[in-house]
Chain A
Amino acid sequence: MNPDSKIGRRKFIRKTSLGIIGLPFLTSTSWKVAPSDKIRVAHIGLGGMGIQHMKWFSQFDDVETVALCDVDQLRLAEAYKQLSSPGMDAKADTFTDFRYIIDRKDIDVITCATPDHWHALIAIMAFSSGKDVYGEKPLSLFVEEGNRMKKALDHNGSVFQLGTQIHAGENYHRVAEIIQSGILGKIHTVRLWKTGGSPGLGFPLNQACPETLDWNMWLGPAPYSDYNPARCHLNYRYFFDYSGGVFADFWCHIADIMYMSINPDGLYSIDSRGDIPKDGIADTPEWIDVDFRYRDLDVFWTTIPPPVPGADKMHIGAHFEGEKGTLTCDYATKIINTGNESLSDIPEIPQTLPRSPGHQRNFLDAVKNRTQPESNMEYSRKMTLPMHLALISFRLKRKLKWDSQAEQFTGDPAANYLLSRMYRSPWTLPTI
């Protein structure tokens, strides 16, 4: 056991909570929860999602927001301002380099809402310093990073939740229940879609970086590029150096319901088609269609809704085709078709799945109980994997064969090469 690990610290605090050691924790304004049971949280990456994390987590009585970090001083200042304003009314230390947070022994949990190219490294460093992580989707930028995250988590006994908050909702739990009840028969086909793709972003010139932004740190392990605002905040997702476009973003939300419901195994073939925008510097899919072949299951991803009833009204959705019926859903609605009827629920199907107390609460409970939450590391790794493989097929413009046991492409070394990428010096992906 890592002596600095959270479990160690928490046990230590519990034992001595009535002693002088408890005093540093008395800064909390809430007395409903004993200070020793407070989870001390730091937020890394404070764009829109990071601020959301801050708001979500600060509303829990057993959470104390202790540190904020962003490479952009303006964003950091804005987050601090919001945190200290009435409502959240908290104070936190601020950093522009996340390594100060990693080094802090008094922090239990970090949330990470940086661009994707930082996800793995920050999580692994957090695990290794005894912290638990609530990390934004996608899990990582490369498949190999996800594997290393899993190893680091296991090695350190850490807790991880992927920030796919739709997962916690009633609709996804009920959809999974209905499908698992067998009323649709065996599911043989799933259609997933998300309308729209990456914008081109035009052709802005590179420019001098504002003094308030540490661009080198923003890039971190990603390939060097001169500063361009179109590559940075809000738009980074449209570059393969930092993310995988709209597809990578929304796969995590909608493939989630497929994995939650039927947890498919034996993926063996991935065939992507598509194109990148012509009207700008962005290089991720303007549209992408993918045919996935699993053992006993076909999965089709499209950029336009499939021709099934109700799908045209859903910007994002999943359509399950079983031997005895179909179910079409999005985040909040579902249409069930068995025979002639079109239903929004089948009340006779009993509730079999425990409901989430909310995605963040589910994570915090897991942190306290040392269990794994619903969107835990292994679930997230398995669920996001096909997205990475589809983007490799998209980039190489060819159909790929996958060995789901070895987790390697078959007969295509170049495709395997793209499962990882060497980090830009001085950063390295830790081996556990």
Chain B
Amino acid sequence: MKKHLLLISCIVLLITSTGSSQNSDFIPLFNGRDLTNWVLAAPEGFEVVLGELITRSHGPGTDIFTAKSYGNFILRLEFLLSEVGNSGVFIWRNPSIQGNGFEVQLLAPWTPWRPDLYCTGSLYGHVAVTNRPDETPGIWHSMEIICDRKLVTVSVNGEVTTIADIDTVETLAGKPYTGLIGLQGNHGRKGQYAKFRNIYIRDLDAEPDYIIKGFYDKNDQRRKLAQIAAVNMGAKMVQPLAGMLSEENPAAYSGAKQALFDIAAKASDPECPENIKKEVNAEVIKSIMNASSDAEINYLRWLSGLITE
């Protein structure tokens, strides 16, 4: 099983890791100047200094979170810990709900010795590293976290440390597969710190091909997330979804049908800008021309009517 996962992971990495962080699919999550895209849990928690995001206080509740939720993504960042530093990267977090999401641990080696379930690169308390990374404090390390539906892969300094099949992690069962990304404030003593820089994200839920694959996922929650991602994308998803109306897979077919309705319903809102209405409708019309049955044509025409009425 582990070998199988490693293989999948390698394929994923081959697909996704060919570019650098400056790859056009990656966008900076931290602009190096201010806290745009971020929300502080406590006012004093973090400070931006010369392109670095630095912890400024200590204790619980000093974390920082993205303003937006992310489900499937590739996150790349660099971190540096002080001696005995302790921080982490939160994934799928909802700060108002205890226990949602998980923390990819960032830890300087300190006494007592931390086991693999709690060291840098582990899904803290949920999944141990299988390949323990260098944890030397005072130097910059790079980290990549890939959330690819049920597969979470963590790499430190270019080497995979942890592969988790979320469906097999009992302690994460039933938790949402989406939420905020966060950086843990200084979790250690006063004077200890963590620094972050070059934080980039590739939001896989903004990529039509990736979203479509989610409609075939066996997990109900993840299929729902793919639907939500599709509706958020809007016009760009209409043709790929319409192509699924002749799909035999009932989950994919009914999901696509619903997502198309929801896109049209959103575009039909009196408050939806006229250009978006037109864009969505144009895609529906194009889909009608490519439709493969009367039932599909009638459905798409009905949706077009909803938008243009």
Q: Which residues of A contact B (CB under 8 A)?
A: 203-206, 223-225, 228, 276, 278-281, 283, 395-398, 411-414, 416-418, 421-422, 424
Q: Nearest Cβ in chain B — how far from A401, in angstroms?
A: 10
B270 on interface, CB distance cutoff 8 Å: yes
Decide: B258 and A204 in contact? CB cutoff 8 A. no
Decide: A276 and B258 in contact? CB cutoff 8 A. yes
A398, B306: Cα distance in complex, Å: 14
Name the A residues within 8 Å of B110 (CB-CB): none
B82 on interface, CB distance cutoff 8 Å: no
Decide: B262 and A397 in contact? CB cutoff 8 A. yes
The DSSP consensus for interface residues of chain B is helix
Name the B residues within 8 Å of A225 (CB-CB): 295
Q: Nearest Cβ in chain B — how far from A334, in angstroms?
A: 40
Q: Nearest Cβ in chain A — how far from B162, in angstroms?
A: 29
B248 on interface, CB distance cutoff 8 Å: yes
Stretch of B14-22, B199-207, B218-226 at the chain-chain interface? B218-226
Name the A residues within 8 Å of B299 (CB-CB): 223
Name the A residues within 8 Å of B269 (CB-CB): 396, 398, 414
Decide: B223 and A395 in contact? CB cutoff 8 A. no
Q: Nearest Cβ in chain B — how far from A177, in angstroms?
A: 43
Q: Which residue of B lies closest to A230 (CB)?
A: B250
Name the B residues within 8 Å of A224 (CB-CB): 294-295, 298
A414, B265: Cα distance in complex, Å: 8
Name the A residues within 8 Å of B258 (CB-CB): 276, 283
Contact status of A396 and B268, CB under 8 A, knowing A278-B223, A414-B307, A418-B306: yes
Name the contact of B250 in the complex, choosing from A204, A397, A413, A416 (C-beta under 8 A): A204
Decide: A278 and B224 in contact? CB cutoff 8 A. yes
Name the A residues within 8 Å of B270 (CB-CB): 411-414
Name the A residues within 8 Å of B248 (CB-CB): 205-206
Contact status of A278 and B309, CB under 8 A, knowing A204-B250, A398-B269: no
- When each residue 254-270 of chain B gets 1 if its CB lies under 8 Å from chain A and 0 otherwise, what string results? 10011001100110111
A203, B262: Cα distance in complex, Å: 20
A149, B261: Cα distance in complex, Å: 28
Name the B residues within 8 Å of A418 (CB-CB): 306
B43 on interface, CB distance cutoff 8 Å: no
Decide: B295 and A396 in contact? CB cutoff 8 A. no
Q: Which residue of B lies closest to A392 (CB)?
A: B265
Decide: B250 and A281 in contact? CB cutoff 8 A. yes
Q: Nearest Cβ in chain B — how far from A167, in angstroms?
A: 34
Decide: A417 and B306 in contact? CB cutoff 8 A. yes
Name the B residues within 8 Å of A417 (CB-CB): 268, 305-306, 309
A174, B264: Cα distance in complex, Å: 47
Decide: A283 and B254 in contact? CB cutoff 8 A. yes
Name the B residues within 8 Å of A413 (CB-CB): 268, 270, 309
Decide: B250 and A223 in contact? CB cutoff 8 A. no
Q: Nearest Cβ in chain A — how far from B140, in angstroms?
A: 42
Q: 10 nearest interchain CB pairs?
A: A414-B268, A278-B220, A203-B250, A417-B309, A224-B295, A281-B254, A413-B309, A203-B251, A396-B265, A278-B224
Q: Which residue of B lies closest to A396 (CB)?
A: B265
- Besides the known contacts A223-B298, A279-B220, A416-B309, 9 further A-B residue pairs in the complex with CB atoms under 8 A apart: A203-B250, A204-B250, A224-B294, A283-B254, A397-B262, A397-B266, A414-B268, A414-B306, A424-B298
Q: Nearest Cβ in chain B — how far from A235, in angstroms?
A: 13
Max count, chain A CB within 10 A of own CB: residue among B261, B268, B298, B305: B268
Decide: A223 and B309 in contact? CB cutoff 8 A. no
Q: Nearest Cβ in chain A — how far from B42, in angstroms?
A: 32
Name the A residues within 8 Å of B265 (CB-CB): 395-397, 414
Q: Which residue of B lies closest to A204 (CB)?
A: B250
Please name 9 pairs of A and B residues whose Cβ atoms are closer than 8 Å in the assembled complex, sorted by A: A278-B223, A279-B220, A280-B254, A396-B268, A397-B265, A397-B266, A398-B269, A414-B307, A414-B309
